[in-house]
Every structure is written in C-alpha cells, then in structure tokens.
Amino acid sequence: MSYCPEGEGDISMNRREFLKIAGMSSLLGVGGFSLANTVRNDLEASQIKSNPAALTAKRWAMVVDMSKFKAPEDYQKCIDACHRVHNVPAGSDNPKHEIKWMWPETYEHAFPGNEDEYLAEKVKHMPFLILCNHCANPPCVRVCPTKATFKRESDGIVMMDMHRCIGCRFCMAGCPYGARSFNYKDPRPHINESTENREFPTRMKGVVEKCTLCYERLAKGLEPACVEAAKEVAVKKGTTPGLIFGDLEDPNSEVRKILSERFSIRRKPELGTGPSVYYVL
C-alpha cells in the first residue's frame, strides 16, 4: 500500500489541522465553561457556622471498662443503639457480606499476638467491644485515593464521606483492626423499615462504612449512641457506665481520669497507629 507524502492539499494534512483546531477549541471551551461556573453565586462564608450546642474536643477518645461488660445484656444495647441509629443492615444470609460497626470479640481475637493459654480464664472470655479506633495516625486515611475517608482536623474523628467513596477498598486492606465493612450489595432490603432511623441516611452498594463516632449526634450536642446506651444500662444496674467518652487532650476529662487510675491496653499499638480506644480491665 503506497503512502502519499504530506503537503500540496493532501487530505491527511487537512485532517490533522482540523483535529488540532478541534482539540484546542474543546479544551478552551471546557476551560471557559469551568471558569464561568466559578463566578456563579457561591455561598458566603458568613452564612455558615457550626451549631453552638455541638460537643467539641481536641481529640475524642473512648475507654471501654471491661469490669462493666460481663454478659450480652451489658453490651448488646450499645451495639443495637449504634446499628439502629445508623441504619446498619442486619445480618444477611451471607456472613461474607456482614456489615458491623461495633461488636464483641474475645481476648485472643481482639488482641492477637498477646494470646496465652495460661491467661486468666475470666480474661480469655471477656467480650471486648470492637469499633473503629479513630487512630491518631490512621493508615486507612493514608491510603485513600480520594480522601473519602479523612481525619477531622477539629477533633480527630476518622470520617467517611459516602458521597466520594469509589469503593476501591484500599482502606479495608489498610486497616490493621478490621474495623471497616463494605456494602457488597444494596443494604436497604436488610434494614428493618419499622425500626429505621429516618433522620440518618442509609448507604448504597459499593461504598465502605464504619463507626464515625456519631459525628452527627456530636454536632447536635448529643453523646455517641453507644455511650448513651451504656449510661442507660448502668442506671438500670446501679453501676457506672462501661463506655467512657471524652477529650483525650483535656487533662480534666473523664477519659483522662480513668486512664490515670487504671492500667489500660490498646489494640496493636506497636503499629504506630495511635488508637483512641482504650480497654481497662
């Protein structure tokens, strides 16, 4: 097949010119359009503020007092409160697709690497409540390619932006604590319509979710649902609550008080993640 050299009114030469012009015009057009968009009515900064009733902290932390959690009746209400308030779908037919924000694990599973057959039997069977540790140095945030999961500057909560998540599940690989769940299918058929919380959205298939320390409740001046439930259980039993919530950087907070009095452990601290969930026995 022969090939005509370029020049002298050759079709291919005109086609190239045309493509160059078309490409440039498109770029300018798109660029111009985007520029025009920026001068539309944006919201003024003065129109936005936070709720004055909101709970604030420099670094939120949770202490799980295991002396208060002995049997399911002690902690199940905390889990149920969390899952109900956030429309977490109930256990579906397939355990592989389980979604959980808070759940109990025994010692060897909560603290793998620390197991010992001569450990006190009582400790071996304790129901350690597991949730996202809201690490100070979270690997999940480090790996997220869209900042869909990010660490809140104001109070250290590791947040989820469900609108931005592309469902790549890198954060799930990155989390050393197995705190995250993925929506492998539409969760709505597995949410009980009669008990759903109509003030909080559900999620859709294809995004990752986890405990977000009830940021939406903190914004209204309420404590996390699990903490509130733990308080109710404590009142009924006449003891102090099993979940203590507060500002780790406030020397006068409840969490600092209990941490200064009792020995505490965190999960896999040697990884440098700086977990904010402490367990006291």
Partner 1 sequence: MYNGGKIIIGILIFVGLVISPFLLTGEKATAKPDPKVDTPEILKMPENERKCVESKDYMKREHMKMLNEWRDLVVRDGLTVYTSKSGKEYTMSLQNTCVKCHSNKTKFCDECHNYAGVKPYCWDCHIVPKEKET
Partner 2 sequence: MLENAIYGSRRYWIWVFFLLSIIGAGMLAYLYQFKYGLGVTGMSRDVSWGLYIGQFTFLVGVAASGVMVVLPYYLHNYKKFARLTILGEFLAIAAVIMCMLFIFVDLGQPLRVLNVILHPSPNSVMFYDMLVLSGYLILNLLIGWTVLSAERKEVAPPKWVKPIIYLSIAWAPSIHTVTAFLYAGIPGRHFWLTAILAARFLASAFAAGPALLIILALIVRKYTKFDPGKEAIQSLGKIVTYCMLINVFFLGLELFTAFYSQIPGHMHSFVYLYAGLHGYNQLVPIMWVSSILAAIAVFMLVFPQIRKNESLLAVACVATFFSLWIDKGFGLVVGGFVPNPFERITEYWPTLPEAMITMAVWAIGFLVLTILYKIAISVKEEVVFDKYGERQINAE
Q: Considering beta carbons, is residue 101 or 245 the nearer one to partner 2?
A: 101
Q: What is the DSSP string of 106-140?
A: -HHHHSTT---TTS-HHHHT--EEE-----SS-HH
Nearer to partner 1, 116 or 161 (CB): 161
> Using the rule CB under 8 A, is 184 a contact of partner 2?
yes
By the rule CB under 8 A, 1 interacts with partner 2: yes
What mask, x for binding partner 1 by CB under 8 A, covers residues 77 to 96? ----------x---------
Tell which one of 141, 222, 258, 265 touches partner 2 (CB under 8 A): 141
* Residue 193 near residue 81 (C-beta atoms within 8 A): no
**In sequence order, which residues have a C-beta less than 8 Å from that of residue 164 and are 6 or more positions away?**
146, 147, 148
Name the binder of 174 from partner 1, partner 2, none, CB < 5-8 A by kind. Answer: partner 2
Q: Which of 1, 35, 48, 71 binds partner 1 (CB under 8 A)?
A: 48
Our CB check for partner 1 shows the closer of 47 and 260 to be 47
Grouping H, G, I as helix, E, B as strand and the rest as coil, residue 159 is: strand
Identity of the residue, 95 or 238, whose beta carbon is nearer to partner 2 in the bound complex: 95
Q: Is residue 141 at the binding interface for partner 1, with CB under 8 A as the rule?
A: no
Is residue 47 close enough to count as binding partner 1 by CB under 8 A?
yes
> Which of partner 2, partner 1, none lies near 154, with the C-beta cut-off 5 to 8 A by kind?
partner 1
From first CA to last CA, the distance across the chain in angstroms is 84
Q: Which of 13, 136, 143, 162 binds partner 1 (CB under 8 A)?
A: 162
Angle between helices 225-237 and 72-85 (to 10 degrees): 150
Query: What are the b/e assignments for 31-59, b being 16+ CB within 10 Å?
Result: eeeeeeeeeeeeeeeeeeeeeeeebebeb
Distance between CA atoms of residues 239 and 231, nearest Å:
9
Between the CA of residue 22 and those of 29, 35, 181, 211, what are the distances in Å? 10, 20, 46, 50
Residues binding partner 1 (CB under 8 A): 40-43, 46-51, 54, 87, 150, 152, 154-155, 159, 161-163, 196, 198-204, 215, 219-220
Binding site residues, partner 2, CB under 8 A: 1, 3, 94-99, 105, 108-110, 112-113, 139, 141-148, 164-170, 172-178, 181-186, 205-208, 268, 271-273
